[in-house]
Structure 1
Amino acid sequence: MSGIGSKAPATGAAKQSYGVKAVLAKNMSFTALILALILGGVIMSICGYNPFEAYGAIMKGAFGGKKAICQTLVQATPLIFAGLAYTVAKRANLINLGIEGQLYIGALGTSMFALLPLNLPPVPWIILALLCGMVFGGLYAGLVGFMKVRFGSNEVIATMMLNTIAVNFVEYAVNYPLKEEGKSIAQTAKFAEAIWLPKIVDKTQLTIAIIIAAAACIVIKLLFDRTVIGYEIKCVGQNLKASETAGIRIGKVMIIAMLISGAIAGLLGGTHVMGVDRRLIAGFSSGYGFDGIAVAALAADRPVAVILSGIIFGALRAGCMVLNRTTGVPTEFIDVIQALIILLVAAPLLVKEILRMNRKHTAISVKGGRTA
């Protein structure tokens, strides 16, 4: 009885400790954001700039009126897509650094369909064009998954190399076979107006793409929580050996995760060319694929949290425009803040890994001492 009674407090303490850790994990991203803003301000001060003036300008540019809010959401839209694409692959313990290339290929697929001389009603035409972009982007990412499973290739290197191929191939396409006749600019002809994404607010670039991005996050959340393949993706990401022992086909899950990740990146490319440029232009992306890493990091790889994370980074981007016009603060400080967020989110994981290795080393030393 005394043994059972003595274990009860320990169990209660373990549950309490687990609860504290869960709370800390949820608040880690928020803490990282606040610390990044504080450290960014300190760096500005050291460099001779007024951080309060800078952050004031950013807030004004991001939320200082209807147009500012619309601009924030416009900037947030591609970041939400990119962050979600990275999150899906990360859940399967895959590092997809090829989102940039996949969104280019997706944009190419959507553009090729949009330029066809079809007389379809607007809604099915838009849906089919976006689906075409998703298929192109998904297959391009799925190729990486297949190479990893079949040949054991490193997905980080493969995706980075495929980025270069995708960007150059799209540049070739808009310079030669798809180039608008009589124009010197590397771009396609403008799409038919029927296939343009509807605007939410007139005289802005805010389209239903933001709604599609938010809906995609919710769908992926449901996929993880309510479907077998979503459960398998999470299992593979958490413990590869245990998943294999449980009978999960690791290779199949990895390929599917890359297909879904690439499809979301392709959807990003498709919504951009149909909602912003309304044509395919060489070099249209400003690095959305890589910015998605920061968005996913701040969201702690949670699909729904990607929406808020994307809006936060979208606000920084929108505010950056006003920062550039009204103050003397260099806009590169926005990149510094973004880098600090990633660093501060990753740092606790690094510390945890160091402590784990230290405990393992101590245990080996103690065991060796006892043996001696």
Structure 2
Amino acid sequence: MSAPIEMRRWADYVLVPALAVAAAFVVAGLVVLAIGENPLEATALLLRGALGTGEGVGFTLYYATNFIFTGLAVAVAFHAGLFNIGGEGQATLGGLGAALACLHLDFLPGWLLVPLGALGAALFGALWALVPGYLQARRGSHIVITTIMFNMLASALLVYLLVNVMGKPGSMQPETPTFASAAHVPFAHEVLARLGVTVPTTPLNASFLLALACCYGVWLLIWRTRLGYAIRTVGANPAAAAYAGIPISRVTIVAMMISGALAGLLAVNEVMGVQERLLLEFTGGYGFIGIAVALMGRSHPVGIVLASLLFGVLYQGGTELAFDKPTITRDMIVTISGLAILFAGALDGLFRAPLGRFFAARRKAGG
């Protein structure tokens, strides 16, 4: 067995993912070149569409908000040695929890209704993750299989509820009635307008601040609390955790519930912030992209924010690029995202091993 690769934390969390992204863009550039387009021009259009205007920045941060929530959800499970790929289902149930709070507590003022809606989203996401966590901890069921199954169950449950129970009267669309105005999470352009600052209208809303707060909360939890230490110990060495008296089953269940709660908070951005009602497929695949975000971010909140911004740039910039260059389709943008995931995940050692040897040589040369 080869010795573990040791390197500075900043290199592991920032430099290795940056090299992976650079390699992905180089390969993608070759693909763009092969279809007769200029890769440098395409990259400039992508970056300009995502970061070159106020509207582009707003949309980029809006997408990044969803990726932060789902990336954090996957990261917490990773630290416990769990591969939670049920973010889609947990976010779906989070939307249900938010909708129930917003529809049935609409007599409350906004300063109370919005937090209760967010709490409902987190609670329902946590409860949906509780069952796979329990089955893993107490029955030995594989967390990957159960979370995949629960994604499908959540989708089917939401269809049933929107069609038969919670649907808007007289509407042919499977959606709930529009929430009361008090349940609306304010948009960034609305808040800034009250301060005398005019910015373009975008879906970016206050849930972005909630996502950043969750990043800080996850950092505190994982690296500054006893529970976080237990989660990391169980994930790193279950035998040592059991020897130390850490209740592995309980930690597994709690970690999955925290993971599900974070995924459920995606509904605050989409259901309460943008759509202002519950509808089908509002999760938009963000739960699966969260896996890539957690991998690229090394399951650290700072890395997750950076990876979320990257995928936000690819989503927004890719849309603008596909509009300006019809030969570069949305499928090619998905390919670029896939290449980033490939180099950051499956080919991680391609960059870590040489960097590890480089830093080891530097330390040896320095005495």
Calculate the TM-score normalised by the size of structure 2. 0.88
Which of 84, 98, 113 is equivalent to 1:125? 113
Please tell me whether residue 151 in structure 1 is matched to residue 150 in structure 2: no
1:304 CA displacement: 2.4
Contact 2:105 2:113 in 1 (8 A): no
Rounded Cα–Cα distance in structure 2 between residues aligned with 1:242 and 1:115: 48
Rounded to whole Å, the distance in 2 between the matches of 1:240 and 1:46 is: 49
Amino acid at match of 2:333: I
Q: How many Å apart are 1:278 and its aligned residue?
A: 0.4
Map of 1:74 onto structure 2: 62
How far apart are the structure 2 equivalents of 1:285 and 1:54? Answer: 28
Contact 1:33 1:298 in 2 (8 A): no
Q: Which amino acid aligns with 2:103?
A: L
On the 8 A contact 2:16/2:352 being kept in 1, the answer is no
Deviation at 1:353, TM superposition (A): 12
Partner of 1:236: 234
Cα distance change on mapping 1:163 and 1:347 into 2, 3 Å: closer
1:1-372 to 2 correspondences below 5 Å? 18=6, 20=7, 22=9, 24-26=11-13, 27-116=15-104, 118-202=106-190, 203-328=201-326, 329-348=328-347
For residues 207-264 of structure 1, what are the alpha-carbon distances to aligned partners after superposition, in whole Å with 9 as ceiling and x for unaligned?
1011100110110001112111011111111111111111111111111110000000
SS of match in other structure, 2:280: coil
Larger Rg: 1
Paired with 1:283 and 1:324, the residues of 2 have a C-alpha distance of 23
* Letter matched to residue 269 of structure 1: A
For residues 128 and 23 of structure 1, what CA distance do their matches in structure 2 show? 38
Residue identity (%): 36
Whole-angstrom CA distance in 2 between matches of 1:318 and 1:352: 28
Which has the larger displacement, 192-201 or 333-342? 333-342
Letter in 2 for 1:142: L
* Amino acid corresponding to residue 284 of structure 2 in structure 1: S
Using the TM superposition, give the Cα deviation of residue 47 of structure 1 relative to its aligned residue in structure 2, in angstroms.
Answer: 3.3
Q: Distance in 2 between matches of 1:74 and 1:270?
A: 12
Give the paired residue count. 338
Give, in angstroms, the shift of residue 338 of structure 1: 1.6
Q: SS in structure 2 opposite 1:201?
A: helix
Instruction: Give the direction of change, closer, same or farther, for the CA distance of 1:246–1:312 in structure 2 (3 Å limit).
Output: same
TM-aligned CA distance change 1:352 to 1:253, over 3 Å: farther
Distance 1:245 1:296 in 2: 29
CA contact (8 A) 2:75 2:300 kept: yes
Distance 1:261 1:221 in 2: 13
Query: For residues 6-42 of structure 1, what are the alpha-carbon distances to aligned partners after superposition, in whole Å with 9 as ceiling and x for unaligned?
Result: xxxxxxxx9xx84x46564232111111111111111
Question: Residues of 1 paired with 2:45 and 2:348: CA distance?
Answer: 33
Decide whether aligned partners of structure 1 residues 149 and 353 sit closer, same or farther in structure 2, where only a CA change above 3 A counts. farther
The amino acid that maps onto 1:85 is A
- Superposition CA RMSD, Å: 2.0
The residue type equivalent to 2:225 in the other structure is T
Q: Do 2:65 and 2:269's aligned partners in 1 also have CA atoms closer than 8 Å?
A: no
Aligned to 1:362: none
Does the 8 A contact of 1:197 with 1:208 survive in 2? Answer: yes
Residue 195 of structure 2 corresponds to none
CA 1:352–1:317 in 2, change beyond 3 Å: closer, same or farther?
Answer: closer
SS in 1 for 2:301: coil
Measured after TM superposition, the shift of residue 349 of structure 1 is 5.2
| Match of residue 359 from structure 1 | none
Aligned mates of 2:155, 2:55 — CA distance in 1: 32
Deviation at 1:144, TM superposition (A): 0.6
**Gap runs ≥5 in structure 2:** 191-200, 354-367
CA distance in 2, matches of 1:344, 1:93: 22
C-alpha displacement of 1:150: 1.3
Letter in 2 for 1:101: G
What residue in structure 1 maps to residue 194 of structure 2? Answer: none
Unaligned runs of 5+ in 1: 1-13, 355-372
Change (3 A) 1:70 1:352: closer
Instruction: Return closer, same or farther for 1:35/1:127 CA change in 2, 3 Å cut-off.
Output: same
Q: Return the TM-score normalized by structure 1.
A: 0.87
**CA distance in 1: counterparts of 2:48 and 2:170, whole angstroms:** 42
Structure 1 residue 285, shift from structure 2 partner: 2.1
Distance apart, 1:315 and its partner CA: 0.9
1:253 and 1:75, CA in 2 relative to 1: closer, same or farther beyond 3 A? same
Equivalent residue letter for 1:330? T
Question: Distance between the aligned counterparts of 1:352 and 1:69, measured in 2?
Answer: 30
